Structure 1
Amino acid sequence: MVGQNISDIIEAYLKEILAADRQIEINRASIAAQFNCVPSQINYVIKTRFSSQQGYLVESKRGGGGYIRIEKLRYRDQDHYLNQLLALVTAQISFEKAVSILQQLVDNEVLSTHEAQLLATMLTDDAFAVTDQVATDTLRANLLSALLNGLRYQRF
């Protein structure tokens, strides 16, 4: 665990549990106590590492008997899955969100890690050589949409 921060450790712990069960229910305070951190750290991990873009559904109930339920989404078929990812791509998309979608494709074995790394390199701000961030984010969204639509069909 050398070089890992507490967020990485908490994420790995939760994903390990999710590997065994499709859905987990946790108590924020008890997880925070287990990792000797503040409960807001658990919120941060869940918000940044378990979003719909990463393929998770998160529900929470506040209060004394409160819980956080995390469910790894499963898709009926690849077409449905790609439609769900396409719905996440707005008119503009940041590099971080694009990488999150590429990671989803790797996690669900649609792309290899190598393919995703190559695509991520092509989606960086530097690759576009455009000084306007809105234009960069728009180009990135267009390319990512084209990729997701292209994955539906085998052309070669």
Structure 2
Amino acid sequence: MHNISDVIEAHLKKVIERNTHNIVEIKRSEIADQFACVPSQINYVINTRFTIERGYLVESKRGGGGYIRITKIMNKDKSELIDEIIELVQPEVTQQTAIAVIERMLEDKLITKREAKIMISVITRETLAFNLPIRDEVRSRVMTAMLTTLKFEV
């Protein structure tokens, strides 16, 4: 059984996919009512599952007519996407952000599930047993090397 955050995320992604412009505008309170949860749960899902690292742009407007707009960032080609990801992970990257980037590449079918598992195993803090900030710098270099290899294999 999936938790409520997974269900809300899946719902929002489905709505975005159905939209020809890859955008959804929601009212936090309406989605909370739909899923019988508190509005802060919607904030949590948006703040953790719809990040730039995962390929989404989030805009919000507060007030009575307020909304949250979630846009799936679409890249014209894989090479351009990889270049953007390389910029995102340099000069250092946290484990959480690196995993989010890998999950985005998997979702965009840039890598296979097996490749994602291998990449994640290489960038974890257990594998990179260095103190901060060295660990985040080494993780960035490892990610950049893997991404560069992918770029020329595309």
Equivalent residue runs for 1:117-156 within 5 Å: 117-130=117-130, 132-154=131-153
Matched, 1:88 2:88: yes
Q: Which runs of 5+ in 2 are unaligned?
A: none
Equivalent residue runs for 1:7-156 within 5 Å: 7-21=5-19, 22-130=22-130, 132-154=131-153
How far does the alpha carbon of each residue in 1:73-122 deviate from its partner, in whole angstroms, 9 at most, with x for none?
Answer: 11011222112112211322111111111111111111101111011011
TM-score under structure 1 normalisation? 0.91
In the alignment, the residues of structure 1 paired with residue 106 and residue 120 of structure 2 have an alpha-carbon distance, to the nearest angstrom, of 12
Q: Which aligned segments of 4 or more residues in structure 1 are displaced greater than 3 angstroms?
A: none
TM-score under structure 2 normalisation? 0.92
What letter matches 2:93 in structure 1? I
Query: Over the residues paired in the alignment, what is the CA RMSD in angstroms?
Result: 1.5
Count residues in correspondence: 152
What letter matches 1:9 in structure 2? V
CA drift at 1:143? 0.6
Q: Identity over aligned residues, as a percent?
A: 39
What letter matches 1:10 in structure 2? I
What letter matches 2:79 in structure 1? D
